[in-house]
Structure 1
Amino acid sequence: MKKKIIYAMLVISVAFSVSCQKTFEDHPLTNTTDEYIWDSSDPTGNFAQGWVIKIYSQLPTGYIRINGNILEVASDDAVPSDQGSATWNVINGGYSPLNTYDDNWGTCYGAIRRCNMFLANYKRVNWADPTLPKWLAAEVRVLRSIFYYEMLKRYGGVPLIGDQVFDPNDPTLFTQKRASFDDCVKYIVSELDAVKDDMRPEATLAQRGSGNGTTDGTDGDFGRMRKSIDLAIKAKVLLLAASPLFNPSSTPNLDYTGYASYDASRWKAAADAAKAVMDLNLFALESNRYILNTTHINKEFIFVRFGASYQTTFGNRMSPVGYTVGNVASNGLVSPTQELVDAFPMKNGKAITDPTSGYDPNNPYANRDPRLDQTIFYNGGTWLKRAIQTYEGGLDKPNNNTVNSGVQTQTGYYAKKGLANDNNNTSFTPTMYHPSVTATFCWIRYADILLMYAEAQNEYSGPDASVYSAVEAVRQRAGLVPYALPVGLSQSQMRDMIRNERRLEFAFEEQRYYDIRRWKIAKTVYGTALHGVTVTKNANGTFTYTPKVVATPFYDDRMNLLPILNNEIQVNPNMKQNPNY
């Protein structure tokens, strides 16, 4: 770990104001000292609280993760619309210890250091309210666990530094070894278990959502750590640990890249953890999925990240390039693949490959799963009161440089996920990603808990009634008629159903990218030809849809984990690189 990772400045900034006589304005920020942060004369712990808020701000924000674009443009669900995007270098050439992306090693260890500094110093404050420091200390330990989890899913086992706050000149700083994957999982779970009952009281289901789709719930502490978030993070960690990448059924992994042998009980642990969240009875699926786009606080969101910023309105970033709203031309940055589009079944729940489904290749978007229209801009769909034109020469695929500097769909599609239902409006409805309100990135919602439970329980004991119930709840809310799954599915068939449901339900929510890696299917589904469609408008007004290859990403199995940056290896002789990099 480099010094820039370990060394953290004491100067902090926070995105909210607090009611206290002492403010940032009455003390020069450049002169902020250790004693000032942990001020024993301030019973409110004003600056100590600000320190915790700064830790929250270091969580990944989503939606502008990779070269100003969403993470899924490096998955089988999408490619960048901009042919000049640096992400194409990743798609075409992979990545190496000298040239990686989505690297968060330094960010996470910087945040972990900040967590440890809080835990080492917060008792120096003479807190007037004894419950507040207990809450804050528990929050910080959960946050620290999240930063370890973020590294675990990227790299495998990483150095565990406990509560240590290293001096930058400490010689042991650059001799830290990677802990085993097992030890990392045990540490994260033990931390989460230790503090689960020490956090702020839970909000009720009624406080979490208004139900009208336009107004946030009344939970004033939404976004702060609670037991429910603690348990949800634990479920995420244990599901990752049970997954094929780290829990191999054949070839054993090295100690820092997974377990030495397969253990089915890991699936049970993951299922039990997800069930613990379900048993809280504090969350529910919102009946209208658009509520997830137009509110920050609702019945389905479990853990969100507030305060993200975006270059423009989300509507302008994602809408097809032929639209101009408020004198701002749309960017159409994301081009979903045909593989994603084809994964959406018909509204009757049958795959489009089923000859009895009713699918019409000449009218390919009719009578499909309603989530298709909520996720994808396709030719002939309606947006802002006009038909979308992704046919060759159409407004949204003009094939010239006069619109959006030549940036246009590479696949015949644009990404719609995250936008309000503005098909018949003339301007954008503010969404949770809109800069005019506090931007939000949802990390975990209740649908995720249901499908995590279904996946883990199916892998442990097969498709029992509880697995059917969890998956069918998500399908019912999606609007499939009938939503019931076929009876008598085998474990393998149910596995395929669950994986596809995750793909559809969480498209462009940073799930698919990691799912295909932890399932060890990325080489099969991503390291192969990805397709789009060429849409041609015929003289009689009909359209012809012709498949085309848009990318053949470079991928091999070593890339299921990111490489550790070469800088880390050079400064620390004990740091081992991930295999085959």
Structure 2
Amino acid sequence: MKNISKYTALMAAMSISLLTACKKDYLNTTPTNLISNESIFADSALTEAYVVGRYIGVTLTSENTGPSFQRGFDSPFMSSATDESIHTQDAGSNLLQQGIQTPDNESWMGNFWIRGYRSIREVNYALANIDAVPMSTYTKNRLKAELHFIRAYRYHDLLRTYGDVPLVGDKVWGLDDRNFDPLYVRSPVQDVIKYAVSELDLAIQGLKGINLAEGRASMPAAMALKARLLLYSASPLYTGGANDPTKWTAASAAAKAVMDLNSFSLYSNYRNEFLINKTSEDIYERVYSSTGGHSALELTNGPNGYNGWGGNTPLQNFIDAFETKDGKTITDPSSGYNPQDPYTNRDPRLAATVLYNGHPYRGRNVETFVPGGLDSKDGIGAWNTTHSGYYLLKYMDESLNAGDQNNLYKDQTQTQPFKYIRYAEVLLNFAEAQNEAVGPDNSVYSALNQIRARVGMPPVTPGLSQSAMRDKIRNERQVELCFEDHRFYDVRRWKIANVTENVPAYGILPTKNANGTITYTKFIALTNRHFEDKNYWMPIPQSEILASGGKLKQNPGY
């Protein structure tokens, strides 16, 4: 099974025009460094390379090394537009934290529209030409299925970011076309989900027997993405607040279908799950070449005392979501939580995710205390010191060189994959949908308890009400799926962002006393954090509104 990285060099040379060539003779010259459209679909190897390139070909992100789906390891992470983290250098994240994005200034989020529709156009082009390619029926059907998966994923990115979006169908527009009005008609979000699910059904049929493909679509990946989309379809933001049990039942059944494959299980080591690929838990992931750096994670997110740049620094809001080891919230008086010894007796996922004062890392303990802490503002370079008192540990590989500030990719050969879909999410999707459909039955408890048992957390307290179980599931998603691009969309689809995103962005200041003890003081790490109802959807880029001559309608409030 071919790895995406094997096609990178070829795709770099395949700068393909998808429009009709100019007919004037003096311009009708074939460049020697490009592969023509006709050549691509006359050669089965080039056709497969073109299809595989649709996973990585669109690089209209803040960093052209970032994943083509979602944002992944692009800096800043999506987490830094939520209550999970803030970015040390801002890099456009504060604009989103403060809710002041506009159609002509929305930081990196506008890229979802641009790269989404460009990719859909490329997929449509391939589907329009692939039947003429001389190749086996098996290979052709697989490539078609992958194209349907990619198209569904692009609509998944678009709909959960903008809501109602245009459905462009299979048409490929060229220079001879004059009517582009279908590109400007926004379909209701439920119709877009229905279309994306139908695309995934085609992918599932065409990918039967393909259960794990490095960086490429598989049958379980299509099934799991379908389950996610159906979960979104049932959620309050997508139903206008109405509760439709049939939608929750459909989402539950779709997740259960993935579980019933018996092809996946939770990987035993939560910390290492994010450092290696092809674990028992991985359903769909972005893999990277071992011969070239990608996002220099250790350098861009490491503590300043290790010559790191700080990067995406977790917030106290997020830290407070972790229970104590006995399964109690830190606000429970019986939990034993001590705010002056805040990291003792906590859910083990906290220590596997966050670097805090006193956390062992690369041969010493992290020092975010003042005065004098090596990883505080008194350490190396105040410009890259955490603004929250924390640093990221999830995804960080201590076996790799931390990097060289004068050479971004020196010794940076990270191969940490970005996990788009893993089995833990499927279990959480099932638990949420099943709880909303029928209440907290035994299957809901079983799904949650599997996730908790993996890290040594006790089972969920039996006898919870549906509402209490809902809160438990949401908290479990917050800590289990952190920094995986879920939180931004979760709080919106639940219609709770007006609460979670209007809480100040808190940090922690450890102060070292004369006797060597540490006093922890909570403080506001980012001022003016703000969320309005219009922010449930992002604005469509103003450039797209103008290009349509005003036919494409903007989201309300912008």
TM-score (norm 1): 0.84
Q: Note closer, same or farther for the CA distance 1:444–1:364 as it changes in structure 2 (3 Å cut).
A: same
Output aligned runs, 1:406-555, within 5 Å: 406-420=383-397, 422=398, 435-480=412-457, 483-551=458-526, 552-555=528-531
User: CA contact under 8 A between 1:385 and 1:426: conserved in structure 2?
Assistant: no
Q: Which residue of 2 aligns with 1:87?
A: 93
Output aligned runs, 1:25-424, within 5 Å: 30-39=33-42, 42=43, 45-57=44-56, 58=58, 59-60=68-69, 62-65=71-74, 68-82=75-89, 85-101=91-107, 102-103=109-110, 104-127=112-135, 129-176=136-183, 177-199=185-207, 201-203=209-211, 221-249=213-241, 261-307=242-288, 313-323=296-306, 329-399=307-377, 403-404=380-381, 406-420=383-397, 422=398
CA distance in 2, matches of 1:392, 1:63: 33
Matched pairs, number: 515
Q: Note closer, same or farther for the CA distance 1:292–1:426 as it changes in structure 2 (3 Å cut).
A: closer
Q: Note closer, same or farther for the CA distance 1:147–1:468 as it changes in structure 2 (3 Å cut).
A: same
Structure 2 SS opposite 1:533 = strand
Q: Note closer, same or farther for the CA distance 1:78–1:189 as it changes in structure 2 (3 Å cut).
A: same
CA distance in 1, matches of 2:377, 2:402: 26
Identical aligned pairs, as a percentage? 36
**Which piece of structure 1 moves more, 109-118 or 30-39?**
30-39
CA distance in 1, matches of 2:433, 2:133: 44
Q: Note closer, same or farther for the CA distance 1:273–1:93 as it changes in structure 2 (3 Å cut).
A: closer
CA distance in 1, matches of 2:474, 2:72: 22
CA distance in 2, matches of 1:71, 1:30: 37
User: CA contact under 8 A between 1:396 and 1:408: conserved in structure 2?
Assistant: no
CA distance in 2, matches of 1:297, 1:580: 44
CA distance in 2, matches of 1:50, 1:201: 21
Q: Which amino acid in structure 2 is aligned with residue 559 of structure 1?
A: N
Match of 2:542 among 566, 570, 579: 566
1:224 offset after TM fit, Å?
2.0
CA distance in 2, matches of 1:335, 1:298: 27
Q: Note closer, same or farther for the CA distance 1:575–1:314 as it changes in structure 2 (3 Å cut).
A: same
CA distance in 2, matches of 1:414, 1:368: 17
Deviations 1:232-253 (A, max 9, x none): 110111111111111133xxxx
Deviations 1:63-101 (A, max 9, x none): 443xx311111101111122x533223333520111113
Deviations 1:340-381 (A, max 9, x none): 111111111111111211212221111111001011111111
1:439 offset after TM fit, Å?
5.0
Q: Which residue of 2 aligns with 1:4?
A: none
Q: Which amino acid in structure 2 is aligned with residue 409 of structure 1?
A: T
Structure 2 SS opposite 1:540 = coil
Q: Which amino acid in structure 1 is aligned with residue 6 of structure 2?
A: F
Gap runs ≥5 in structure 2? 16-29, 59-67, 404-410
Gap runs ≥5 in structure 1? 1-13, 204-218, 250-260, 324-328
Deviations 1:249-304 (A, max 9, x none): 3xxxxxxxxxxx54221111111111110011100001111231221111101001
Q: Which residue of 2 aligns with 1:16?
A: 6
What's the RMSD between the two structures over aligned residues?
A: 2.5
Q: Which amino acid in structure 1 is aligned with residue 273 of structure 2?
A: L
Q: Which residue of 2 aligns with 1:253?
A: none
Q: Which amino acid in structure 2 is aligned with residue 56 of structure 1?
A: Y
Q: Which amino acid in structure 2 is aligned with residue 333 of structure 1?
A: G
Deviations 1:180-237 (A, max 9, x none): 222211111112123312116234xxxxxxxxxxxxxxx6x32222211111110111
Deviations 1:147-167 (A, max 9, x none): 011101001121111111011
**Which piece of structure 1 moves more, 176-185 or 149-158?**
176-185
Q: Which amino acid in structure 2 is aligned with residue 124 of structure 1?
A: A
Q: Note closer, same or farther for the CA distance 1:311–1:391 as it changes in structure 2 (3 Å cut).
A: farther
Q: Which amino acid in structure 1 is aligned with residue 278 of structure 2?
A: I
CA distance in 1, matches of 2:395, 2:37: 42
TM-score (norm 2): 0.87
Structure 2 SS opposite 1:245 = helix
Q: Which amino acid in structure 1 is aligned with residue 350 of structure 2?
A: L
CA distance in 1, matches of 2:392, 2:362: 15
